[in-house]
């Protein structure tokens, strides 16, 4: 079975594209985001849900998005709209369904069952379509580990901060209000071996604030971030590119490992320091990130 | 598909098309199209509108379309959405991408 998604791909940026805006849908590929996310939820007025669903369906069936990961944020299943969204986007070839307002593992399981039923109905191998879950409440944050482990289809979990801070009875500030949620989501994602994606930074005119937030989430260990404006993509990607110094060190570590292997020695060292396994893993990740970045530039 | 009342889908924004469908008892599809790219793509847009209505089983309707440079997939989406609204129909034969 050929899956439409890969758990290992680069996901520094996931760009929100309003699902009822044909111009933005048509142009979405050119901005260089790693993932494009067509939104059927909050950016679409209730009276236009049917038209947006039809538009995204036709766009998915017709347009060529190259090697981009194509995600659709559906409405939550309890609204009665989510199941209708899945009926349209699963056969149309969406790579990953983003489930909003995920409070517990059962939300993921319910969505997966619905996707599996639709795949089967259309003769699509069950398991072809990927999923990701957005956590947007205190309950969801506390259940993050169970959510992250709820389905093999999950490529990642994401933080949706606006609803979350409202639930916490606070507002978006300097990031301290999100520290617990980010840490929970990150650790839950890593324990399940999937991606951790940060929330949007809505003040598109505050570049300094945006860069500070990007630096923070990169240091914490996030894979990337949702963006609402193409202007944020370049700066976000640059922040994730390894420095030349770090990259050279990573190559030197891998060379030392190769040399030790060639000697038949299980112990490698660089400049007198033994190279531990975590050092090798970090070096491999850094090189993979740099290579994936070059590949995405060539697209 | 039986149309019950007049319905509209789409907007007047760039890259979109606003489609109005009104039920008729006979006379086939009467289409009134205006487009910002009429010279180059008028025939193509008309053909997509007629083909989409045929696919939905709409035989008689007065259709007004104001195009602002929509792609074929947008034209199909807006015509389908307007027709479903005019028929008060939620079900649609979603198909697998080939």
Q: What is the ipTM of this complex?
A: 0.97
Q: Is A219 exposed, middle or buried (0-12, 13-18, 19+ CB in 10 A)?
A: exposed
Give me the pLDDT at residue A299, please: 62
- Calculate how close chain B gets to A21, using CA atoms only, in Å: 8
Give me the pLDDT at residue A260, please: 87
Chain B neighbors of A122, CB-CB under 8 A: 94, 96
Q: Taking the domains of chain B in order of start, what are their residue ranges?
A: 7-86
pLDDT in tens, A66-79: 989 999 999 999 99
Q: Is A69 exposed, middle or buried (0-12, 13-18, 19+ CB in 10 A)?
A: buried
Q: What is the dihedral of CA A42, A46, A50, A52, to 10 degrees?
A: -40
Which one, of A238, A144, A140, A158, lies nearest residue A195 by Cα?
A158
Tell me the CATH number for domain B7-86.
3.30.230.10
Q: What b-and-e string marks burial along A141-154, b requiring 16 or more CB atoms within 10 Å of the CB? A: bbbbbebbbbbebb
Are residues A209 and A173 in contact, defined by beta-carbon separation less than 8 angstroms?
A: no
Portion 2-41 of A in contact with B at CB < 8 A: 21-23, 26
pLDDT in tens, A209-226: 999 999 999 999 999 999
Are residues A129 and A4 in contact, defined by beta-carbon separation less than 8 angstroms?
A: yes
Question: Residue by residue, what is the 3-state secondary structure of A31-74?
Answer: HCCCEEEEECCCCCCHHHHHHHHHHHHHHHHHCCCCCCEEEEEC
- pTM of the full predicted structure? 0.93
The closest CB to that of B74, out of A55, A91, A122, belongs to A55
> pLDDT tens digits for chain A (299 residues)?
789 999 988 999 999 999 999 999 999 999 999 999 999 999 999 999 999 999 999 999 999 999 899 999 999 999 999 999 999 999 999 999 999 999 999 999 999 999 999 999 999 999 999 999 999 999 999 999 999 999 999 999 999 999 999 999 999 988 899 999 999 999 999 999 999 999 999 899 999 999 999 999 999 999 999 999 999 999 999 999 888 999 999 999 999 888 888 888 878 888 888 888 888 888 988 888 888 787 776 66
Q: Which residue in A40, A49, A50, A51 has the most chain B C-beta atoms within 10 A of its own C-beta, making it the best mutation to test that interface?
A: A51
Which one, of A68, A58, A128, lies nearest residue A89 by Cα?
A58
The reply to whether residue B15 touches residue A92, judged by beta carbons under 8 angstroms, is no
Q: Which residue in A30, A55, A56, A72 has the most chain B C-beta atoms within 10 A of its own C-beta, making it the best mutation to test that interface?
A: A55
Using a CB–CB cutoff of 8 Å, tell me whether B13 touches chain A. yes
- Calculate how close chain A gets to B37, using CA atoms only, in Å: 15
Which one, of A296, A272, A270, lies nearest residue A283 by Cα?
A270
Helix/strand/coil percentages in chain A, nearest 5: 55, 15, 30
């Amino acid at each position: 079975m050929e899956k439409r998604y890969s758990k290992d791909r680069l996901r520094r940026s996931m760009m929100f594209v309003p699902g009822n805006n044909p111009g933005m849908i048509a142009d979405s590929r050119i901005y260089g985001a790693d993932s494009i996310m067509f939104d059927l939820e909050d950016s679409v007025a209730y009276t236009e849900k049917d038209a947006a669903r039809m538009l995204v369906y036709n766009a998915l069936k017709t347009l060529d998005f190259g090697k981009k990961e194509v995600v659709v944020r559906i409405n939550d299943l309890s609204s009665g709209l989510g199941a209708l969204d899945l009926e349209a986007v699963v056969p149309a070839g969406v790579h990953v369904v983003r489930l909003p307002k995920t409070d517990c593992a059962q939300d993921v399981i319910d969505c997966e069952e619905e996707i599996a039923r639709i795949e089967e109905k259309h003769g699509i191998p069950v398991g072809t379509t990927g999923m990701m879950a957005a956590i947007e409440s205190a309950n969801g944050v506390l259940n993050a580990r169970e959510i992250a482990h709820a389905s093999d289809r999950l490529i990642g979990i994401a933080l949706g901060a606006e609803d979350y801070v409202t639930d916490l009875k606070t507002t978006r500030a300097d990031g301290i209000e999100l520290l617990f949620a980010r840490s929970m989501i990150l650790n839950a994602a890593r324990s399940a071996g999937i991606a951790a994606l940060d929330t949007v930074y809505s003040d598109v005119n505050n570049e300094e604030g945006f860069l500070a937030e990007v630096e923070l989430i990169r240091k914490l260990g996030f894979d990337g971030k949702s963006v609402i404006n193409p202007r944020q993509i370049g700066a976000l990607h640059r922040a994730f590119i390894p420095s030349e110094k770090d990259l050279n060190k990573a190559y030197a570590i891998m060379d030392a490992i190769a040399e030790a292997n060639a000697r038949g020695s299980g112990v490698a060292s660089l400049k007198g320091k033994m190279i531990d396994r975590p050092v090798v893993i970090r070096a491999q990740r850094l090189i993979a990130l740099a290579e994936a970045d070059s590949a995405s530039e060539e697209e | 598909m039986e149309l019950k009342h007049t319905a509209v889908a789409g907007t007047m924004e760039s890259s979109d098309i606003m489609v109005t469908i009104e039920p008729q008892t006979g006379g086939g599809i009467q289409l009134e199209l205006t487009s910002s790219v009429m010279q180059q793509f008028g025939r193509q847009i008309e053909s997509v509108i007629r083909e989409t209505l045929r696919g939905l089983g709409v035989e008689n309707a007065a259709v007004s379309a104001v195009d602002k440079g929509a792609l074929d997939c947008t034209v199909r989406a807006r015509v389908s959405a307007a027709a479903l609204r005019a028929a008060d129909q939620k079900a649609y034969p979603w198909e697998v991408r080939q």
